[in-house]
């Protein structure tokens, strides 16, 4: 993992609320979150962890000078990732397109400190295997008139943690899963950073 050089900036960083991001893919939500908090007075993104060594999110992290960690499935479950999380002491762990299930050990160690965004209105279209374009395809096949996003706390089961925020969008004009995805991305980019900020600064 890339180290943060010791400097005045690092001293300030020690007193800030820290976000740790997990992602598996392109990282459009990750980049949006980084940009939102880039010059924030008391919130900072301290790392991006990924299970995919070819994920484009790594390029985005490099462009923004955010430290990264690549891990495999064994390292996620054998305590390696747990220890790396503990080193950073995050105030919030954000799953932004992370496709693996979080181990129970990590979930229990960070109660109400791990959140996920799901590209549908849970409890519909959630659970194992329901992610990305698969969700949008199923939504269209079922002739839904609307879909949306759900931001929720993470527990031991896929997509079953307490809801934090939901937002709907009409999709009657959408012809393809990609059309639905574009509307969902707009919702994600608009709301996800704001909800993260409200969780970390509930009184602001």
**Assigned token pair, 125:** 């279209």
User: In whole angstroms, what is the distance from residue 49 CA to residue 51 CA?
Assistant: 7
Beta bridge partners of 180: none
Question: Which CA distances in Å does 62 have to 31, 32, 113, 115?
Answer: 11, 14, 25, 24
User: In whole angstroms, what is the distance from residue 154 CA to residue 111 CA?
Assistant: 8
Is 189 a known active-site residue? no
**Of 118, 152, 185, 191, which one is the catalytic site residue?**
118
Burial profile 91-120: b = 16 or more Cβ within 10 angstroms, e = fewer: bbbbbbbbeeebbeebbeebeebbbbbbbb
Q: What is the DSSP string of 46-115?
A: EEEEES-TT-THHHHHHHTT--EEE--HHHHHSSHHHHHHHHH--SEEEESS--SPPPHHHHHHSTT-EE
**Assigned token pair, 108:** 């229990």
**Assigned token pair, 73:** 């499935």
Which residues are designated catalytic?
118
């Amino acid at each position: 993992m890339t180290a943060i050089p010791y400097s005045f900036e690092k001293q300030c960083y020690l007193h800030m609320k820290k976000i740790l991001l997990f992602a598996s893919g392109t990282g459009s939500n990750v980049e949006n979150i980084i940009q939102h908090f880039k010059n924030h007075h008391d919130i900072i993104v301290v790392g991006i962890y990924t299970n995919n060594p070819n994920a484009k999110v790594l390029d985005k992290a490099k462009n923004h000078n955010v430290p990264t960690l690549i891990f495999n499935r064994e390292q996620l479950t054998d305590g390696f990732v747990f220890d790396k999380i503990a080193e950073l002491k995050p105030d919030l762990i954000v799953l932004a397109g992370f496709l693996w299930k979080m181990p129970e050990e990590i979930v229990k160690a960070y109660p109400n400190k791990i959140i996920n965004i799901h590209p549908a209105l849970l409890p519909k279209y959630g659970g194992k295997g329901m992610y990305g374009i698969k969700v949008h395809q199923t939504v269209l096949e079922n002739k839904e008139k609307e879909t949306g996003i759900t931001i929720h706390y993470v527990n031991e089961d896929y997509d079953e943690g307490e809801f934090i925020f939901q937002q709907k969008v009409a999709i009657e004009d959408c012809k393809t899963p990609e059309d639905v995805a574009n509307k969902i991305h707009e919702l994600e980019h608009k709301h996800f950073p704001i909800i993260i900020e409200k969780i970390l600064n509930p009184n602001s």
